[in-house]
Structure 1
Amino acid sequence: MNYKEELKNKLEQLKDIDGFPIGTDEDILELSNPPYFTPCPNPFIKDFIEKNGEKYNQATDAYKCLPYTDDIDTNKNDRLTNAHSYHTKSPWHAIQQYIEHYTEKGEIVLDCFSGSGMTGIAAQKSGRKAILSDLSPIASFLTYNYNFSTSSDRFMTQVGKIIDEVDNELNWMTKTKHSDGREGRINSILYSEHFNCPQCSHEFILWDTAVDFVNGKMHDEFNCSSCDATLKRKDCEKSKHIYFDNILNKEIESVKISPVEILYVIDEKRYKKKPDQADFDLIEKINSTPIPDWFPLIPFMQIGERWGDTWRAGVHFGLTHLHHFYSRRNLHFLSKIYAKITDLSDLELKHKLQITFNSFLLRASKKAILAVNYYFHGGGGYIATISGNMYIPSLFFEVEILEQFKTRAKKINEINKSDFSLENCIVSTQSATDYSNIPTNSIDYIFVDPPFGENLMYSELNFLYEAWIKVLTNNSKEAIINKTQNKALNQYNTLMLNSYKELFRVLKPNRWITIEYHNSKSAIWNGLQEALTKSGFVIAHTSVLKNKGGSFVINVSPNSVANDLIINAYKPSEQFLTNFVANAGHNVEIEFIEGLLSSLPIQPMLERTEKMLYSKMIAYYLLKGYQINYDARSFYEMLYQNFIEQDGYWFTSNQINSYADFKKSHNVEELGQGKQESLLFFIVDERSALIWLESFLSNPKSFSDISTAFNKLSNIQGDEVPDLKVLLEENFVFDGSIYRKPSSNEEKLRAIDKRNRTLKREFESLLVEAENSRTKMRKVRKEAIVYGFEEAYRSKKYSDILTIGNKLHKSIIENSPEISEFIEIAEIQAEGLA
């Protein structure tokens, strides 16, 4: 089959799939290597699945797996990972451990936010197959290049040939004169911005004025050389000048810069010098010399001025087009190298060289920042790049391009030494909101490291790379929070929800999805959990991505740990899904809890506590829009009648013996105070406080002991939680001088009834306040609101939910997914009843 011709014939229909990139048909076809890689939605994925996958059959499916809870190797500093400087990389070593846990050899793994392609590497290292996609053409192109190997010798030979040819044509641009008249080769040139003194308007070069050359450091404060005023850089305005841009053929006003030091080599010995007149003359000659080869002549983000959320007025003044991010000398070298690469007829070799070229574009730009301490004192590289933004430093380097090409080629060649095969992966460029080219129930496991809110502005950051390959991100479906794109939290959450719905559809029943999470904002965390549950997944286990030391219990607050969080969720069985939909959730509650408990590790963990089980069931029913038939009391009775409780954790009858074996193997009689050091837990609200107390009071304790331990872990914000003593009196039993957990079913039910009466009174009080108040309520007891909303939802009193919801401050709603969802559903129901 002529795959490229087949792709050409399908392009028009592929344009209907979300995320089809921006580019001409010719450029998309030129960059493609079908069936393995397409910089557009890949129409050959179904063929890949038919060839490598096993069709799902409910009758014969025997898959069973618990979430992964062992230690994780998160080493990112290996030569393979560092081959390219892409701004995000998940550690493939960690992904490999998840893949090997959840799948068997030959099974198919999906990553729809593939970034640099680490999931593909992990899959190939594990003997699995991978479907990899990303909205960004440069990300999918990088993913593809990371996941196949070409001849190492042939690759390096071609690199050497290109370097020699370009050097022969352009080496006149790299010459400088030593003090004795000998000719040196420029290694790099340091540039400095000009500033104006706010006191006397005197123009000065930052490098000359703010640097202490004797001690080798940059001063935070320095004196104006004209009026002697003490200055700080942030108080000084950058100097502007007008120059003629002979590429755009018009005058441009921009920040004034000057070369201040030249680093050069003679006979392998390094020297520094201030530019002399000959150097300035050479720069002028280079700037006036036309560039004969193609380069991207394009407004940044196809907008120009104020291109996006990474644009800064004080940094990007006059930087409207892509070529403004490069010195003219470097643009000559880059365009010449790229012309040599694109002339090659060997497609795979050309692609490997294109991604090599791509890998040093950031360092070749004006983003190459000076590391002052290393520059003067050694001990490390003095040229650095800061990824994740488009910041142009006031002191930047013009680096030597051919040396960068050679250095990066050696790193990229590590991929060629890894023996990766295109037969094991297929790569697509599309939005995760539309996987119409992937069949339902066809994927064995999903690992994703998705975009989180406004962490990174991917399409803006990637434009620097994508302009060179002539295929750009279509960011209409880009899942980020971005003012320029008019995307706030709601738009981001909707895009992520639609993505998870597609992932739920293509994943086989009973299988797992793992999400790597790294964002400290609770609104993003809550939105993620809501989107997963709404799409149909059941979140079974959340853990910390870390190197050493497992944890039995961990809190699910993103603010509580510095490490990334790992979320493991599963798609319920086909039988459960059928029953759940057919009965609108009615009388399926026991089956839901049994499925959840059966999917959890048989060990002490948050997810096995009564409150977490109740919370997960309520969330699942609520987000599916089904009637909630259980309150806290009847839910406990259901647990008591159908499952087994031990040490505050619930198990199925098939699990209780395994739990006893677990405790025996860990030398734990019961999970009491002696085990608390093993529990990674933080108290951030009333619910987490009660869960912690349930665990801590496995053995009765005095108030003093409880208070001391509680205060060490407590970091409550945004929730009006009663005093510790009140929590204890409402939910536990005071027995002489100690507090203990209820020891019988009757005691437990009395405690639940007592708590419910209190929450009911508080909710009724809040309802009266909301009906009469003109201001938003900022301080509320969230558990009272959730309790009242549950009761109102059950009795269809949607107006009560909306009365309070309309008076709650938006921060309360954003940071509580339960409260937010009750309000959203009440709004829908109220409109339907109107």
Structure 2
Amino acid sequence: MNDLFQNHAAKSGPVECLGQTFPSDETRREHYLKLLAEKLKDPEFRKIEGFPIGSDEDILTLSDPPYYTACPNPFMDTFVEGHCTNYDSSTHYKKEPFLTDVSEGKNDPIYNAHSYHTKVPHKAIMRFILHYTQPGEIVLDSFCGTGMTGVAAQLCGDRNVVESLGYRVESDGTVLQNLGNNGKNEWVPFSKLGARAALLNELSPAASFIASNYNSELDVNRFQLEAKRILQDVSDQCSWMYVTSHSDGRTVGRINFTLWSDVFSCPDCAGEIVFWDVAADKEAGKVLDRFSCPHCTTVLEKKGLDRAWISFIDGATGLTVRQAKQVPVLINYTVGKSRFEKKPDQQDLNLIDRVLAEPITDWFPSDRMIEGGETRRNDPAGITHVHHFYTRRNLIVLARFRERIFSMRGTEASPGLGLWFTSSHVWATRLNRLLASNYFGGGGGVIGQTLQGTLYVSSLAVETNCIERFSLRTSSVPFTAHGGSSLVSTGSAERISAPDNSVDYVFVDPPFGANIMYSELNSLWEAWLKVRTNPSSEAIESKAQKKSLDDYRALMTKSFREAFRVLKPGRWMTVEFSNTKAAVWNGIQTALQEAGFVVANVAALEKSHKGYRAVTTTTAVKQDLVISAYKPNGGLEERFREIGGTVDSVWDFVRTHLGYLPSVRIRAGELDFVAERDPRIIFDRMVAWFVRHGTLVPMSSQEFQAGLAQRFVERDGMFFLPEQAADYDKKRLQVATAPQMELFVSDERSAIDWLSDFLKRRPSTYQEVGPEFMGQLGAGWKKHESKPELLALLEDNFLKCDGTGDVPSQIHSYLSTNHKDLRGLEKNSPALVAKAKDRWYVPDPNKAQDLEKKREKALLKEFDHYRAFTGRRLKEFRLEALRAGFRAAWGNKDYQTIIDIAKKVPDEALQEDEKLLTLYDLALTRTEDWI
């Protein structure tokens, strides 16, 4: 690999960077800081989507260009040019989706060096990178968070780490993977040992700052020396704030933490109630929900109490502040090597008063908390500004640490010191809370950090010893990547400054709907860093930002389009999906397809089996998913432009698509059904491809299935290319039973699919199929979707043997196989005809086409009723009728009808149906209604 960042940390000699040689790392940094400063003066540069909120000076203070900029990185294109190999459509690259089970724990020094709201373990990401790329190739993560993708990309060159994943590394650097099943070893080569280059983009300046420090080479010895010096300096000046007297009245102890309790007012007697004093039941080992007033003995509940209040002049803002009253109720301290607890005495209270009077000489943030549900959730308690989230002594100490740490920016110790500050910060806030069960149970870990996804200040808040916490973090922070092949940018995923077709692989774990409000949760970090997230392009669903699920999906589509643009044709993108809400899942899949990607595999991590299971419907979205999608090779696009939306284009797409799908998937020694090879799903992928290109599909689903059977090889309900079928046949001989697709019946379409599969295997009478069918109509049925009558489904989609003439081949085959007395009989045998009478079966393609046309006409007639509906919302409807109507309107370029009808459909019904959502979104793009 051409290492453009050679000798990153070596300040004692020349360094090479982006093709230039500098006398030292200091001169390198000065050179690029000057270039960045000039760039920041350009008004157009600041107009780039997602440009953070901060002054030039503060952006430059955080940045370490060209490796990291606290704004869109203007050096990315130069970095890419040094690593990128030009795309050539003739270049041989063939990979199936990565299907090996991924179950990496989080107990790793690098992972634990810094907490964050969501993180994919870097060792899990390494498996994907090793599968899809080779050394020196470029990996993009446009929602990089703390930069674990960059860490993973670099550690792909570390033999010890790669072997710790269960791979074998040969002397020539070939990485072998064990594909053995049933205890048999089968080592096969699949990659090469070597670091990959990483492009890391993140909207949040806090996250990109952490990512840059994680992915920078660190002089550990220098870090330890500087951290020790800073610790000693802060301790010399501030350790007096964390002392308390031991029970003997002479010995001085070091405070570990102080517990603060809310104070309430009794609604009956107006007496003050210290929550800890009345609710902490040591004998029961818990905090009580009901307790008695210590003044009037009235039985009370916390939710029915009024707060007690304090008022004071806020020295930082000059405003009069009214805050909910909290008082110290317990001090945990250390004398020698032993821990003790005590109730604060008068000396402790005097110390707190002395700290309150202590001036703060170092800078600290005192901004109003930004708009947001989480950032403003504590407003009713009077916690309205950033500095209110810290006790006075922790605010003094944190400000002192910050001043000394940031004075070291640009040194060999800088990355470690940066991680040291942000990782220790979370222990310094009032968001820490007491874990009551651990505390009363005598276990460890009695202090809990911020509740995930919220800025909730507990009624029992823990004030840690800030100096002690920084001291503890010095041993866990210096675990970073080797450095040298990652570039970090701060900005929107909608704008990646890399050339077209330049990236070899994309891995993202993006925001998912309203799961986590990243900009709000990062606001405390960013207040201290002085550069904040620009939320305009934050891809979330948020009431505070007035962003709906439609807005979220539109933003994700733009981000995926940018990933599609920079990814080389024929290459892969992996999306980690962490949301059980079907509407969000549909939004992600729709956004991927609209961006141009073709989904080749969706798998859910089955934690009970520690493996993956294919997901075919939104009702199955109950776990984290891994979505594998590819950018079609340039040849397919070129041929489509040449011949357009013809029948030949259909089979050209299918032939190409089948080549990307996994041939064989084995789980727990058994052959798995590859859902993407089901003809119905292949048809859906083909339709999405045509729709995205604005072209009508030139055949019906029945014509498609008939053509599929003529052109490709069918095995166990799946379709393959000939060479893939040969591989499948070899594996099929090793297992006892054929795999079967698991269908979830949730609407009319899936009910028809289930009946089709059932009747293919077992042509049945109405009485026989009835109980089986009713057993499928469980709790998973979609809300608002009218439940069809079984008889209507059978009459509209299937044929019934009337007992005259020859018995249909499908029924003949079933009866002669399953009934000994009917074997060998001719199709017109009276006994066979009698047994076949009134059995429903799947029609052959020609007759099925007639049924489909008849059914489509009836569906469009029903759609006309929806069009004429004058009420506000349709309460119940047939999704199949809506789908047929949307398809017809799209074909007629009647986009307004789609939008108008969509407004009559409940939001959840529209958002949870991929087919409706895709056509609705595309219709919006052709009107003024899209953001």
Q: Which of 806, 813, 816 is matched with 2:910 structurally?
A: 813
Alpha-carbon distance in structure 2 between the residues aligned to 1:278 and 1:682: 67
- Aligned counterpart for 1:656 among listed residues 718, 725, 736: 725
Q: Higher mean Cα deviation, 237-246 or 767-776?
A: 767-776
Taking a change above 3 Å as real, the CA distance of residues 208 and 527 of structure 1, as seen in their structure-2 partners, is same
Per-residue displacement from partner, 1:667-725 (whole Å, max 9, x unpaired)? 44xx3xxx45xx66533333344445555666437676895598369522233343556
Distance 1:409 1:339, change over 3 A: same
For residues 751-806 of structure 1, give each alpha carbon's deviation from its aligned partner in whole angstroms, at most 9, with x where no partner exists. 45335523532441342354155352222221232134324443556676567445
**Any stretches of 5+ residues in structure 2 without a counterpart?**
1-19, 21-30, 157-194, 665-672, 801-810, 812-834
Report the counterpart of residue 188 of structure 1 in structure 2: 257
Aligned to 1:62: 92
Q: Which residue of 2 aligns with 1:388?
A: 453
The one-letter amino acid paired with 1:601 is P
Taking a change above 3 Å as real, the CA distance of residues 655 and 552 of structure 1, as seen in their structure-2 partners, is farther
Distance 1:739 1:413 in 2: 75
- Call closer, same or farther: CA 1:429–1:775 in 2, change over 3 Å: closer
2:628 to 568, 571, 576: 568
- Aligned partners of 2:575 and 2:121: how far apart in 1? 13
> What residue is the counterpart of 2:539 in the other structure?
479
The 3 A distance-change label for structure 1 pair 824 and 274 is closer
Instruction: Provide the C-alpha distance between the structure 2 equivalents of 1:323 and 1:772, rounded to a whole number of angstroms.
Output: 55
Q: Which of 276, 293, 297 pairs up with 2:362? A: 293
Q: Quote the offset at 1:344 in angstroms.
A: 2.5
Equivalent pair of 2:862/2:881 in contact (CA under 8 Å): no
CA–CA distance in structure 1, aligned partners of residues 109 and 618 of structure 2: 30
CA contact (8 A) 1:71 1:549 kept: no
Residue in 2 that maps onto 1:764: 861
Q: Are residues 801 and 40 of structure 1, via their aligned partners in 2, closer, same or farther at CA, if it must alter by over 3 Å?
A: closer
Per-residue Cα deviation, 1:342-381 (whole angstroms, up to 9, x for no partner): 2236524123212211112222100110011211221231
Equivalent runs, 1:374-413 vs 2, <5 Å: 374-385=438-449, 386-413=451-478
Paired with 1:390 and 1:150, the residues of 2 have a C-alpha distance of 32
How far does residue 606 in structure 1 lie from its aligned partner after superposition? 1.8
Matched, 1:27 2:27: no
Q: Secondary structure at the match of 1:143?
A: helix
Question: What residue in structure 2 maps to residue 274 of structure 1?
Answer: 343
Q: 2:241 aligns with which of 164, 170, 173?
A: 173
1:557-584 per-residue CA deviation (whole Å, 9 max, x = no partner) reads: 4553542111111101112222334555
Q: Which has the larger displacement, 35-44 or 692-701?
A: 692-701
Could you tell me which runs of 5 or more consecutive residues in structure 1 were left unpaired when the two chains were aligned: 302-306
Identify the match of residue 3 of structure 1 among 32, 40, 44: 32
Q: For the structure 1 residues 549 and 274, does the alpha-carbon distance in structure 2 shift closer, same or farther, using more than 3 Å as the test? A: closer
- 2:181 is aligned to none
Decide whether the 8 Å contact of 1:482 with 1:488 is kept in 2.
Answer: yes
> Residues of 1 paired with 2:925 and 2:152: CA distance?
44
Q: Does 1:490 align with 2:555?
A: no
Distance (whole Å) between structure 2 residues aligned to residue 246 and residue 772 of structure 1: 62
Q: How does 1:144-293 map to 2 (within 5 A)?
A: 144-182=212-250, 183-293=252-362
For the structure 1 residues 729 and 149, does the alpha-carbon distance in structure 2 shift closer, same or farther, using more than 3 Å as the test?
A: farther
Q: Which residue of 2 aligns with 1:16?
A: 47
* CA distance in 2 between partners of 1:360 and 1:725 (Å): 66
- 518-527 or 770-779, larger mean C-alpha shift: 770-779
Question: Are residue 541 (structure 1) and residue 594 (structure 2) matched?
Answer: no
Structure 2 counterpart of 1:304: none
Contact 1:519–1:558 (CA<8 Å) still a contact in 2? no
2:367 maps to a residue whose letter is: I
Q: 1:138 is aligned with what amino acid?
A: A
Check 1:346–1:800 CA distance in 2 against 1; reply closer, same or farther (3 A cut). closer
Letter in 1 for 2:474: A
1:363, 1:740 → 2: CA distance?
A: 70
Equivalent AA in structure 1 for residue 457 of structure 2: I
State the match for 2:831 in structure 1. Answer: none
CA shift digits 1:231-282 (9 cap, x unpaired): 2212222222211222223320111110011111112221111111111111
Q: Which sits farther off after the overlay, 204-213 or 148-157?
A: 148-157
For 1:430, the aligned partner's letter is: G
Query: 2: CA distance between counterparts of 1:827 and 1:115?
Result: 31
**Counterpart of 1:368 in structure 2: which amino acid?**
N
Q: Which moved more, 1:20-29 or 1:255-264?
A: 20-29
Give the distance between the partners of 1:701 and 1:402, measured in 2 at CA.
75
CA distance in 1, matches of 2:539, 2:361: 39
Partner of 1:720: 786
Distance 1:226 1:725, change over 3 A: farther
Which stretch of structure 1 is more off in the superposition, 619-628 or 701-710?
701-710
Conserved 8 A contact 2:375-2:520: no
Offset at residue 644 of structure 1 (A): 3.0
Counterpart check, 1:131 vs 2:162: no
Indicate yes or no: 2:317 matched with 1:317.
no
Give secondary structure in 2 for the equivalent of 1:783: helix
Instruction: Report if aligned partners of 1:697, 1:741 keep a CA contact under 8 Å in 2.
Output: yes
Q: Distance in 1 between matches of 2:380 and 2:726?
A: 65
Q: In 1, distance between residues paired with 2:924 and 2:144?
A: 37
With normalisation by structure 1, the TM-score equals 0.91
User: How many angstroms apart in 1 are the aligned matches of 2:926 and 2:34?
Assistant: 52
TM-score computed with the length of structure 2 as normaliser: 0.82
* Separation in 2, partners of 1:827, 1:18: 22
**How many residues are paired up?**
812
SS in 2 for 1:150: coil
Q: What is the alpha-carbon distance in structure 1 between the residues aligned to residue 400 and residue 147 of structure 2?
A: 28
Quick one: structure 1 residues 740 and 578, their matched pair in 2 at CA, closer, same or farther if it must change by over 3 Å?
farther
Return the alpha-carbon distance in structure 2 between the equivalents of residues 458 and 798 of structure 1: 35
Query: Aligned ranges for residues 318-397 of structure 1 at < 5 Å?
Result: 318-344=382-408, 347-385=411-449, 386-397=451-462
Give 2:134's aligned residue: 104
Structure 1 residues 712, 720: CA separation in 2 closer, same or farther (over 3 Å shift)? closer
Deviation at 1:103, TM superposition (A): 1.1
Q: What displacement does 1:297 show?
A: 2.7
2:507 maps to which of 447, 470, 482:
447
Amino acid aligned to 1:720: S
Structure 2 distance, partners of 1:133, 1:434, is 9
2:138 equivalent to 1:77: no
Tell me which of 744, 747, 754 is aligned to 2:851: 754
**TM-aligned CA deviation for residue 625 of structure 1:** 2.3
Query: Per-residue deviation at 1:812?
Result: 2.2
Offset of residue 181 of structure 1: 1.1
- Other-structure match for 2:575: 515
Shift of 1:77: 2.5
Identify which of 665, 690, 706 aligns with 1:637: 706
1:431 corresponds to 2:489: no
Question: How many Å apart are 1:554 and its aligned residue?
Answer: 1.9
Matches within 5 A, 1:557-706: 557=617, 559-587=619-647, 588-603=649-664, 604-668=673-737, 671=738, 675-676=739-740, 682-692=744-754, 699-700=761-762
Task: Measure the CA separation in 2 of the matches of 1:461 and 1:122.
Answer: 25
Which amino acid in structure 1 is aligned with residue 429 of structure 2?
Answer: S
CA contact (8 A) 1:286 1:328 kept: yes
Which range moved further: 374-383 or 196-205?
Answer: 196-205
1:457–1:741 distance in 2 versus 1, CA, 3 Å = farther
After superposition, the Cα gap between the structure-2 partners of 1:707 and 1:94, relative to the gap in structure 1 and judged at 3 Å, is farther
Displacement after TM superposition at 1:824 (Å) = 5.3
CA contact (8 A) 2:378 2:457 kept: no
Q: Shift of residue 389 of structure 1?
A: 0.9
- Residues 261 and 275 in structure 1, CA contact (< 8 A), matched pair in contact too: yes
For residues 755 and 107 of structure 2, the distance between their equivalents in structure 1, rounded to whole angstroms, comes to: 41
1:210 Cα deviation from its structure 2 partner? 1.4
